[in-house]
């Protein structure tokens, strides 16, 4: 069981570091979603199902999707401005 905790904690830390240090915004948003999903997994393992479900639906789901949509919309509008 300790190996599961260490693995999930490593995924959370890796996702957080990747989200902060990555230069690509889309990669940062995906890393944030992965870290949030791993945090939700840890909460489920620790017998906090309501907190885990909330983190999974809001943190990994809603916020990550909103960030990805905003990034893709601003990238597409930036590409349109450069076209003749």
What pLDDT shows up at residue 5? Answer: 93
- Structural domain count, the chain: 1
Residue 60: band (very low, low, confident or very high) from pLDDT cuts 50, 70, 90: confident
Task: Report the share of the chain in percent with pLDDT over 90.
Answer: 67
Structural domain harbouring 22:
2-82
Q: Please, which contacts does 72-80 make with residues 24 or more away whose CB atoms are closer than 8 Å?
A: 72/26
C-alpha torsion sign, points 62, 66, 69, 72: negative
Which residues have C-beta within 8 Å of that of residue 50, sequence separation ≥ 6? Answer: none
For residue 7 the two structure tokens come to: 């693995």
């Amino acid at each position: 069981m300790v190996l599961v905790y260490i693995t999930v904690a490593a995924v959370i830390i890796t996702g957080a570091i990747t989200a902060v240090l990555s230069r690509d915004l889309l990669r940062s948003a995906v890393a944030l979603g992965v870290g949030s999903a791993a945090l939700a997994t840890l909460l489920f393992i620790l017998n906090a199902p309501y907190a885990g479900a909330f983190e999974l639906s809001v943190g990994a789901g809603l916020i990550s999707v909103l960030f990805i949509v905003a990034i893709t919309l601003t990238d597409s509008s930036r590409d349109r401005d450069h076209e003749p």
